[in-house]
Structure formats: structure tokens, C-alpha cells
Amino acid sequence: MSDALGTAPTPDRIAALPVWSGPIEIEPLHGGLSNASFLVRDREGAFVVRLGQDFPFHHVGRAREAMVTRAAVDLGLAPELVHAEPGIMVSRFIDGHTFGPEDVRARRADVAALIRRFHTGMGARVSGPGFIFWVFHVIRDYARTLVAGNSRMASRLPEFLTVAQEMEAAQVALPIVFGHHDLLPANFIDDGNRLWLIDFEYAGFGTAMFDLAGIASNAGFSQLETEDLLAAYLDAPADAAFLHAHAAMQVASLLRETLWSLVSELHLDAPGVDYVAYTAETLAAFEAALASYRLRFGKG
């Protein structure tokens, strides 16, 4: 397993950063699944320090993440990035309400507007080699990693890959945009005046569909709430083919989350995270979404 903290003692490593003004106070932040985060206060204000290595098994590179974060800051969507070096990012702390699923559902029109702005504005601001996120490639690559690592659920991979192939075939042609690809509710923060977006580990070029599916699947949207979200994003009601593709992508997004957790079981050891329990949770959500999809659209 890999340690998300790296090798240096965490308080010493944070204290040694060349960004602090005067003495600092360090407080751990909880909730991350693969990175360790800390709230640090100095006499100038409050900051979030995030520690995380490159995770090639998850297609995560920290230099790319920092570049995307700077682009999102430039677009006015993310908190200021005040320092970045290998394994560490320091961002200004947003004193606000971190969303839960119920907040995403209630604020779905605002969330749709924020994500549409991200999709339309980021492509011109990112730099370096283009990174593609296509969830069906990710699923296939995770399956290879799980076979090589003798995963405890390796026997189910042929079934999972068959489902992924079916969901990929249901997709519709869409423009390429720059997407976030990890739209868990906790990645939205409301400071009372506006929404902020954080955590860009998986951001890259793709279509809008995975983000739209992730919003709905991660926050437990009803069908009516899903149609509201899509209409707000598209500025028009979604047609039948789009709704079909979106439902299929929700299945794929939950399958990807399940395989992500299985890969994490092999390679990660983040403090306080029970990856086996998270796998069980995401697998149940995937199976429920697949059953719902079958009822609506049948097989094949």
C-alpha cells in the first residue's frame, strides 16, 4: 500500500513550508478518501494544506492537478492556490458550508450553472499535454490493475466489463469540454454569497455527460430532479436519447467508483478510511442503478 502522507513527519513538513506568516496552528480535516488535508492558521488567515502523491494506478498526477487548480482560480471558481510543490498544495480556506447530497439536490440549478461555466471556460486556460478522461477506458484499465493485483473481486470483472460495454454503447455524440470528473457533494462549498468548486485530481478533457451523471448519482437524484438538472445545464429539456445516455453514464460512474475503491484497497492506506466498507457501499449503489436502468431500458 501507498501512504498518502509521504515520508516526512506531517506537522514538521507543513511547518517548513515557506508561506506562513508567524506561528501556525494545524488541525486535521476529515472526509478525504485518498489525501490527507489540514486546516492551518497563521496571522494572515486560514489555509487548507493537502498532501498527496502521484497515484498512477488512479491516473492522478499532482503537477497536472496544480495546473488545473490554477486555471480554475483564474476562472474564478476555485479558492486561491497560494503554494504548490511535489506532494503538497496550499489553498486559501473558504469559510462556508460544504455541500451534502441534499444541498446538491436543492441547489441543482446553481450547480448546473457552475459546472457549465467550468466546462466552457476551462479549456482555454489549462496548459501542457491534454489529459483525456473517458470513464470506459478508466474502467477497463482498473480491471487490468485488479487482475494484476489479484483483487478479492477479480471473478466479477468479466461481468463488470460487459456492463461497461453496454453503457458505452448507449452514449450519444457530444462536444469535447474540460470536465471535473469527481463531483462528489463535498466538492461544492457555499460561502453564503457564491459556490466554489474544489479538488481537480481527475479533471481533463471529455464530454459533459460524466459530470452530469456524477452529480446525479453521487447526490441520489430522483428522475424529476435529474431532468431538472439536465434542463438547467442544457437550457432546454433533454431528449429521450440524452436521458438514456445519462442513465447509462450514471451506472458507469458508480461502477467506476466501485473499481476505484477496489484499486484503492490494493494501493492506498489513507488515515481513517475503510476501503472495504466503501467498496460495499459503492457496489450496492451500482447494482441499484443497474437494476433501475434495466427496468427503464431493458438490456442491449
Q: Is 104 exposed, middle or buried (0-12, 13-18, 19+ CB in 10 A)?
A: buried
pTM value? 0.94
pLDDT band at 58 (very low <50, low <70, confident <90, very high): very high
Tally of CB atoms within 10 A around 172: 15
212 near 246, Cβ under 8 Å?
Answer: yes
Instruction: Name the strand (E) or helix (H) holding 206.
Output: strand 204-206
Neighbours of 150 (CB within 10 A): 8
Q: How many helices (H) and strands (E) does the chain have?
A: 10, 10
pLDDT digits (tens, 9 = 90+) for 268-298: 987 778 999 999 999 999 999 999 999 999 8
Pick from 288, 294, 284, 282: which is nearest to 256 by CA? 282
Residue 3, pLDDT above cutoff 50: no
Integer Cα distance of 8 and 194 in angstroms: 37
Span 191-240, pLDDT tens digits: 999 999 999 999 999 999 999 999 999 999 999 999 999 999 999 999 99
Give me the pLDDT at residue 273, please. Answer: 86
Calculate the average pLDDT of the chain.
Answer: 94
pLDDT on residue 19: 95
pLDDT at 9: 57
Q: How far apart are CA 143 and CA 62, in angstroms?
A: 23
Torsion, Cα 228 188 215 114, to 10 degrees, reads: 50
Structural domains present in the chain: 10-92 (3.30.200.20), 97-297 (3.90.1200.10)
SS3 at position 259: helix
163-189 pLDDT tens trace: 999 999 999 999 999 999 999 999 999
Instruction: Write phi, then psi, for 90 (nearest 5 degrees).
Output: -120, 120
Q: Cell 511535489: give the residue.
A: 86
Q: Mind listing the pLDDT tens digit for each residue in 216-226? A: 999 999 999 99
Buried b or exposed e, range 8-38, using 16+ CB within 10 angstroms: eebeebbeebeebeeebeeeeeeebbbbbbb
**What is the distance between the alpha carbons of residues 87 and 4, in angstroms, rounded to a whole number?**
9
5-14, 71-80, 84-93, 291-300: lowest mean pLDDT where? Answer: 5-14
Nearest to 60 by CA among 178, 198, 202: 202
